[in-house]
Structure 1
Amino acid sequence: MRSIIGYLVCLVVALTIGYTFSPKVAPQAEVLATRPDRVQINGLLNLGARVVAVGERGSILLSDDQGVSWQAASVATQRNATLTAVLALDDKRLLAVGHDGWILRSLDAGSSWQEMRYDGDLGEPLLGIWTGGGDKVLAFGSFGKFYQSTDAGQSWAPQTLDIDSAHLNSMAGGSDGRRMLVGEQGLVLRTDDAGKHWHTLPAFYSGSLFGIVRLSADNWVTYGMRGHVFVSHDFGDSWTQINVGNQLPLYGHVVLPDHTGLVIVGAGSSVVRLDAQGELVGVGRLAGLGTLTSATMVGSRLLVGGERGVLQGSSGSAAALAATQATQ
């Protein structure tokens, strides 16, 4: 009898261990849709009538009521790989990029998505995507990965940059051909001919830069690790650091309506507000929201994404909140 009981105990333990370490099925999209606070969000996109959020485990969430409720989009080939950024070519055609070189495309404003590219063997993430208009798109990421599409994201060709395999994090530019691309170890690349020739700017900061913003042809802002924010008034020839009063890393931003400035968000629910010339307006925190990675404006409200999902920054204008709670 004791031996039988012993065998039964061993069987239960073995089954428990087997269940614990066996691969688990990712939460169903329907569950994530009803609980958008349980999935990390890395990118937000406001289409006007719809807001799109992308994040971990291949999550793509849609809101047609300005962020009040969310539904899951349909992904034809779900890889469960983290998505890092989302972009609109127009009000219907969208692109999203993520880990394992994953690129998705939607032709119906985000309701359904098809896979355009995936490289699970290499396993390196794409961290951003950018377009200057039309069907030409650029995607970039870890170890200098830089791809170009001339057919609205259907096919992609690698491009070469002389950057010694540095990670590329963010890109900005305008229709006049002026663009900048930033990455790790203070890397800043600049072009004035729509990307035909890229030049590395002299280093002015040794840490990673996570974002670059074009405010005008001459006024640019970049930000990143340890609360570092820099502004240039001469298209990157010189940079001045803005003291935001803390060392919390900054990860994402949104340009305010009518180009009246921008809001940058980051760790510790931090919010930094700059005006249209890149001058500091205010610094504040949206209490209890954790690390913020992305933001978009919905009317006068700031919608933020991060480790706790998609959240409304405040009951009123969070941009105004950052100004009224200004601290240097």
Structure 2
Amino acid sequence: MCSYKNYLQLTLGVVLATLQGLSQASAYVDVLDLPAKVSPLAVNGPLSGMTRAGARLVAVGQRGHILYSDDGAQHWQQATVPVSADLNAVTFPSATEGWAVGGDGVVLHSNDGGATWSKQLDGREIGTLMVKHYQALADAEPGNEQWPLLVAEGERIAEQGADKPLLDVWFTSERVGYVIGVFNLILRTQDGGQSWTPFQDRTDNPQGFHLNAIASTGDALYIAGEQGLLLKWDELQQRFAAVQTPYQGSFFGVLGRPGEVLVYGLRGNVLRSTDGGQSWETLDSGLHVSITAGVIDAQGNYRLFTQGGQMLVSQGSGAQLHFVQSSEPVPVTDVTRTADGALVVVGSRGARKLSVE
């Protein structure tokens, strides 16, 4: 039989557990509302994306960490960021104006070269934005069966909440740009991120494959996705049209210049086209590990990097790739050139400057 004392202890324990649970619940703050924590270890933590803002380097990574360097990656400072969501990619069309994207559909903007950031959009808003946009189109074209489907997709996203990450971002100017992500998630802005227009109806991606990377070659804009998906912006049709490729695995990046484009991805696969994607040749990388980053170096050579830290180099054009042994191979998620032409990579161990021939 339970004594009165035991009963009081049991009752008190229940009350304390309830109060503790309420305290923990009240202490919870969504990562979209929690500023990134300043940490001296951030520079050595996982970083996912990097770019240049003028001469400055800007890198993004986990827990909302954004770092910037004004001395070619010798020293880094941590930016002020209003979210703690993991960040995947960053772009600066000018030395001051930049955008970063990441988990929970977050879009951040900086107007001071990456030192401070503000939130322009997140996944809690994207579904509602889609419903409003496509419902207006459905009302205007009641006979078009596409619009109700996209309205329903927006409703699903709104119901599921902010759980869909944005994977890449690209801006052609300080006003016009795109953000892309999982399940064909894509939006465009024409006013520097003050407003965003859903673009799902402007992609040849009926199966809703993930959109992994977006990049310009100077004469064309491409989106690389999973299961062989490659899209190219068609100015006449005002949409991202499908480009047929001979590989059905996932692509993780696009790299090129006017007249030449390389797409790369799983298992060391690299494709090259010199006719705008009408035909492709498969390059022999000699590797079977995923290629995750690429850059054109100061000498005009392509350099591709893998998740294992291996590096492939072309000589001039991208027609042939050669493996270059690294003394300290580390996983690479992104790479960029400094203002003086040096290469800096980021990955699971932070940022580091490369010594390359």
Structure 1 residue 197: Cα displacement: 3.0
**Match of 2:251?**
209
**Match of 1:126?**
166
Counterpart of 2:311 (choices 258, 264, 271) is 271
> Contact 1:269–1:292 at 8 Å: present in 2 too?
yes
Question: What is the aligned length?
Answer: 291
Counterpart of 2:69 (choices 59, 63, 74) is 63
**Match of 1:225?**
266
Structure 1: gaps (5+ residues): 1-10, 12-17, 321-328
2:112 paired with 1:108: yes
Structure 1 residue 248: Cα displacement: 1.2
Within 2, Cα distance between the matches of 1:50 and 1:72?
13
What does the per-residue CA deviation read over 1:101-156, in whole Å, with 9 as the maximum and x for residues that have no partner?
10000000011000001115231111111122351101111000010000112221
Within 2, Cα distance between the matches of 1:26 and 1:133?
28
What does the per-residue CA deviation read over 1:169-201, in whole Å, with 9 as the maximum and x for residues that have no partner?
11223565x322110001111234177133212
**Match of 2:331?**
291
Residue 312 of structure 2 aligns to which amino acid in structure 1?
A: V
Mark the structure with the bigger radius of gyration. 2
- List aligned pairs for 1:116-265, cutoff 5 A: 116-119=120-123, 121-159=161-199, 160=201, 161-163=203-205, 164-173=207-216, 176=219, 178-193=220-235, 196-216=238-258, 218-257=259-298, 260-265=300-305
Q: Which moved more, 1:85-94 or 1:42-51?
A: 42-51
The 4+ residue runs of structure 1 with deviation greater than 4 A are 22-27
What does the per-residue CA deviation read over 1:30-64, in whole Å, with 9 as the maximum and x for residues that have no partner?
3234xx11x11111112343111101111101111
Residue 286 of structure 1 aligns to which amino acid in structure 2?
A: S
Within 2, Cα distance between the matches of 1:104 and 1:189?
25
What does the per-residue CA deviation read over 1:54-75, in whole Å, with 9 as the maximum and x for residues that have no partner?
0111110111111011111011
Within 2, Cα distance between the matches of 1:69 and 1:165?
41
Structure 1 residue 228: Cα displacement: 0.6
TM-score in terms of structure 2 length: 0.75
SS of residue paired to 1:29: coil
Within 1, Cα distance between the matches of 2:261 and 2:87?
27
Q: Which moved more, 1:279-288 or 1:149-158?
A: 279-288
* Bigger strand fraction: 1
Structure 1 residue 295: Cα displacement: 0.5
Residue 29 of structure 1 aligns to which amino acid in structure 2?
A: V
> Contact 1:215–1:276 at 8 Å: present in 2 too?
no
2:70 paired with 1:50: no
Cα distance change of structure 1 residues 195 and 60 upon mapping to structure 2, 3 Å threshold: farther
> Contact 2:104–2:162 at 8 Å: present in 1 too?
yes
Structure 1 residue 262: Cα displacement: 2.1
SS of residue paired to 1:292: coil
Q: Which moved more, 1:41-50 or 1:85-94?
A: 41-50
- List aligned pairs for 1:70-109, cutoff 5 A: 70-75=76-81, 77-78=82-83, 80-109=84-113
> Contact 1:215–1:277 at 8 Å: present in 2 too?
no
Within 2, Cα distance between the matches of 1:111 and 1:271?
31
Structure 2: gaps (5+ residues): 1-12, 14-19, 125-160
> Contact 2:104–2:163 at 8 Å: present in 1 too?
yes
> Contact 1:61–1:71 at 8 Å: present in 2 too?
yes
Within 1, Cα distance between the matches of 2:68 and 2:267?
32
Instruction: Give me the CA root mean square deviation.
Output: 2.6
**Match of 2:158?**
none
